[in-house]
Amino acid sequence: MAVEQTLSIIKPDATRRNITGAINARLEEAGLRIVAQKRIRLGRDQAEAFYDVHKERPFYDSLCEFMTSGPVVVQVLEAENAVALNREVMGATNPADAAPGTIRADLAESLEANSVHGSDSPDNAAREVAFFFSDEEIVG
């Protein structure tokens, strides 16, 4: 299995509760290396563009509102099989369905305010990493 990169976002519910370090510790303990990271405030246009794939979903407006409600930490994670590994560490979208010990099971507030984003495929990972980071910002 080749070394992969994936895009992670620590969402506003987590920055608000000051648990970005706790989340990073879980990522690192799982073997994911944080090879780029920045704390930013998403603009509405940026949030809408990032979640364009969900444009037709009933929760799109609310999701964009939530994602712009406070700072986020965007990060590039690197590991063998990083996309799937990060999804495993994150847990299911709905914290009520997430396996015990996952970030979402232990830390998420709700289905929407579920603390972390992670790319769901290598193709989306490449697109999402490029959405936030230039090559020079990623230091492996």
Give the residue numbers marked as catalytic.
117
Binding site for ligand GDP (CB under 6 A): 59, 62-63, 93, 111-112, 114, 117, 120
* C-alpha–C-alpha distance, residues 34 and 79, integer Å: 9
Q: Which is nearer to ligand GDP, 19 or 111 (CB)?
A: 111
What is the closest distance, in whole angstroms, from the C-beta atom of residue 72 to ligand GDP in the complex?
Answer: 12
Nearer to ligand GDP, 49 or 137 (CB): 49
The nearest distance, CB 135 to ligand GDP, in angstroms, is 25
Sign of CA dihedral 30, 36, 38, 43: negative
Least distance CB 113 / ligand GDP (angstroms):
7
Whether the CB-CB separation of 119 and 6 falls below 8 Å is answered with yes
Cβ proximity to ligand GDP, 36 vs 72, nearer residue: 72
Kindly give the residue spans of alpha helices, DSSP state H, lying in the chain.
12-16, 20-29, 44-50, 60-67, 82-90, 103-107, 122-132
CA pair distance 132, 105, nearest whole angstrom: 27
